[in-house]
Chains A and B, each alone.
Chain A
Amino acid sequence: MAENVIIKNGHYLVEDWRMKEILTQEINDYERERISKNREEWLDWMNKHFAYKTILAPKKYL
């Protein structure tokens, strides 16, 4: 990996110098938790609703 990995409160963060053109918002810890909690719940929901079966490859490839 070309750059450092920044982890704050268990979350990966982009390096500051990359965000000079597109400015970052003021996001507090609650907000960060809100986003990551949503992500997990959303992915669970996707798995429950749209990944109810595993589609196998045709027999000739097994």
Chain B
Amino acid sequence: MEKDYEQLFTSDNIATKILGYAVLFLMFVSFLLIAWYAPIERTMGLVQKIFYYHVPSAWVAFLAFGVVFVCSILYLTSKDRKWDLFAKSSVEIGVLFALIVLITGPIWARPIWGVWWTWEPRLTTTLILFLIYVAYLLLRIFSGNNERTARFAAVLGIVGFVDVPLVYLSINWWAPEAQVHPQRIGMGSHMQVAFFVSLFTFTLLYVYLLIRRIRLARVEDAVQDLRSQQM
């Protein structure tokens, strides 16, 4: 088991490579499905297609921050360096996908709502979530790569995630009339196929990026160890 774990993060691990190519292939398939297989939505038109990237990105962002939350708890209870690397890697991916959500959202909103942005519960929650984890990254940058930083980051990983439902709840009460974000979308079967393939692809992409990022984090760690031995 331990050996399998070590194996996964070596540069020439065959399973990781296959996963990488599978993601590449699926991305291509998913693009074809979105572009040609899924029909053009009747009222919203072509711009609705951004939904196939927007929603899976949001899912990956929340998944990534959920992983950070779990790994942060595991780190604080076990003090196993492994969990810190997981959390650290997952945050970066989560922030990236949250940014994609925040960019694709307004592109869709401008023609549909007539404005780029509205202070609506989902939008605001995503923005605040994004800011919390950007602060997480800054915290890591500003306090160096050591055990204490790992502890601080884990604390923020827990507090930040617990904060999400509170933010959502309070903004929902703040402006209930502003709830304009589509809650669920009526999809035809063709749309569903395109959507779920895209969702699956993005999830695999997350797993792949996470593995690669953890490998990088392990290399960074090894370099740091070597440096401190040289001192």
- A, B assembled together: no
Chain B residues near A (Cβ < 8 Å)? none
